[in-house]
Every structure is written in structure tokens, then in C-alpha cells.
Amino acid sequence: MTNVHAALARLNLDKAVKVSSPIALTALASSYPPSAGAFREDLAQAVMKPMLDFLAQTGSYLMVNAYPFFAYSGSADLISLDYALFRPNAGVLDPGSGLKYLSLLDAQLDAVFTAVSKLGNYNAVHVVVSETGWPSKGDNKETGAAAVNAAAYNGNLVRRVLSGNAGTPRRPDADIDVYLFALFNENQKPGPTSERNYGVFYPNQQKVYDVEFVLGGNSAGGGSSKDNGGLGWQDNGGVGSGNAPSSTPGGVKATSTGEAWCVANAMVGQERLQAALDFACGPGGANCKAIQPGAACFEPNTMVAHASYAFNDYYQRKGRTIGTCDFAGAAYVVNQAPKMGKCELPSTAV
């Protein structure tokens, strides 16, 4: 890395071209809870510290390959699938930091941030998720490898990043770029079945599953999406653009056919959920009687539950068309029936 940088500097290209090398989460000796994150002893001082010094000195990026799928598949009895797929969940509390995590990827990234902090002050080093994704197919022992889960993971992740929620509980202001693996299935790749099925497209360019990387139309509820972080494609050694235009934020495709529901995105915070809820139950015309005190869906009395009910009613009334489950990034589409306590969200307008 030092030699390549020196060669670039001789050509006056070192400001435009940055040099880095991605690390896998296997570089960590511990990653759970995130506050206990630490690099392996054989890597910490010999590799990671000099590399971080180099990245800081040259203004380059720490590139991390993070795959929540592997953690979930290996511990599906302990890890919630909703937690792994950015869907509404109860969250996981880190007893060491007191921080609450609503997604497994956040926990993995904060374990890296913690490990880095133990080697020095490298807050100025920008982090890039150089690879992440979810397989659409796997062997019998590869729990969770399925097209519906791949669509949910990729769509919800892109929606989150391009809606201005790229930070983590430990680093809420982090501006993290994400590269999805992969654009195409690698049908001749050896190894487990999952290794050949990370693509959104087959090698013949046909779609593996239906996912559209747009929030869709004008955001219901007003406001504009903030393009914190960028989206690119990582495929067969090639890297796409890290800065996607703000007009192409991501999310699972809304469709007017088949079953689909609209639920609240807890990661945007109470203030944005309240604003979107006020719109849905007011100018948006959603029927919010069921979430009033004493009504059938008042319990659980939480912002996420009430917002999910209102967003879903709005979405169903609008015919589940593209852009009607958005609310400036405060909501997203799921294809499995969500339940909020004893309240079931309807798949049609009520």
C-alpha cells in the first residue's frame, strides 16, 4: 500500500486516487457485544495499527467487508431474522455501552469502530462498507439464504443509507458509503451454494428477485431525503460509484399485486416518525381510529406500532403503488405479515 501510494504521489495522483485494503470481520478477535470489539492479537499491532496510521496520513478509507448473513446463519437460534434484515424488532442492548442496536450490521460496524479506537484516535478515518449482501439461495445448513430475505436486506439497507441514516449507535454522524455484493450471481464460483447466489441478476441478466432501488416518487409526508452515504456495486473485483445521486435512494419495490405491508422504520427516530404519523393520520387520509386509546390496535402503545398501522393503512388505500410507503425514509415495505402485539396489520384498506 505504501509503495502504490508513493508511485501515485510521484505522478501527482495521490490526492485523486486513494489506496486501501479491505478487512473481513474475521480480523476481529471479538465482536459481541460491540463494545468488546477488538482485533486479533496477531493483527492488531503488526498490521492494523500501521495500516490505520497510513490511512490517516493519506486521507484514505478503512474498508470493511461485513456480512450479517454469516452471523445469522450460524446462530439463527439466538439472532432474530428481523434484526438481521433491518426490519422492526425489539433491539439488542449492549451491556457495556448501554447502546441499543436495531440492526446486526450496526452492531458489526460498531465492533470495528471499538476495535479501531483501542489502537488510537482514528476518528478522522472514513469507513466504507466495501462488501455486504445476502444470498438468495443456499445449502440446507445455510439458514436464511432465500430470495425474499435477500430482497429485504438489500432493499432495506439501501433505503436506510440513502435516507440519511448511515450512522451507527456509536458513531451516529458517520457518513458511510456501502457497496453491495453482488450485481450478478457467480454461477461458476466454488464453495457452498450461497457463494454462487449473492447477485441481484443471473449471468443471463434476468432478475433473481424483484427489488427496486428507489424510495419512489415524491415522499409522502413531505421533506426530502438526505444523501448521507452512497451506494455502489461490488462485483467480481469491480467497484461501482460510491456516490449515488440523491434521486436514486433504495428500497424494496412496492407492488400492487401480491401481499405487502408498510411498516415504520424505527431507525429514523421518534421525531421523524411523529411527523410522518401526523401526515398519515391528517392530510394523508389514513384511518387511524384503531390506534386511538381503547381501540383495537392502541396496544402496544408505542410510536413504531402506531406509525406502522397508520403507514400501512395509507399504503393500502393508495393501492400499494410505488412511493406510497416512503414517508421520507420513515417506512418501508415487507412481504410477510407483520404483527404488533395482538394487532394484525390489514393487507387491504379498512
pLDDT (tens place) for every residue of the chain, 350 residues total: 999 999 999 999 999 999 999 999 999 999 999 999 999 999 999 999 999 999 999 999 999 999 999 999 999 999 999 999 988 888 999 999 999 999 999 999 999 999 999 999 999 998 999 999 999 999 999 999 999 899 889 988 887 777 666 789 999 888 788 999 999 999 999 999 999 999 999 999 898 987 766 554 333 332 223 333 455 555 543 333 333 322 222 333 333 345 788 899 887 888 889 999 999 999 889 999 999 999 999 999 999 999 999 999 999 998 888 778 888 888 888 877 887 888 888 877 66
The set of catalytic residues is 131, 186, 189, 195
Give the C-alpha separation, 12 to 7, whole Å: 9
Beta-strand ranges (E) seen in the chain are 23-24, 28-30, 38-39, 61-65, 92-93, 100-101, 126-132, 177-180, 231-235, 238-239, 261-264, 331-334, 339-340, 343-344
- Amino acid type, 198: Y
Give the C-alpha separation, 119 to 23, whole Å: 16
Spacing of C-alpha 144 from chain mean position: 16
**271 contact partners, CB below 8 Å, separation of at least 6:** none
Give the C-alpha separation, 341 to 188, whole Å: 45
Q: Which residues pair with 331 in a beta bridge?
A: 264
Contact 175, 113 (CB under 8 A): no
- Joined together, the cell numbers standing for residue 223 give 421533506
Q: How far is CA 267 from CA 110, 198, 308, in A?
A: 16, 26, 13
Q: How far is CA 23 from CA 35, 50, 141, 228, 242, in A?
A: 19, 14, 26, 23, 18
Give the C-alpha separation, 285 to 94, whole Å: 40
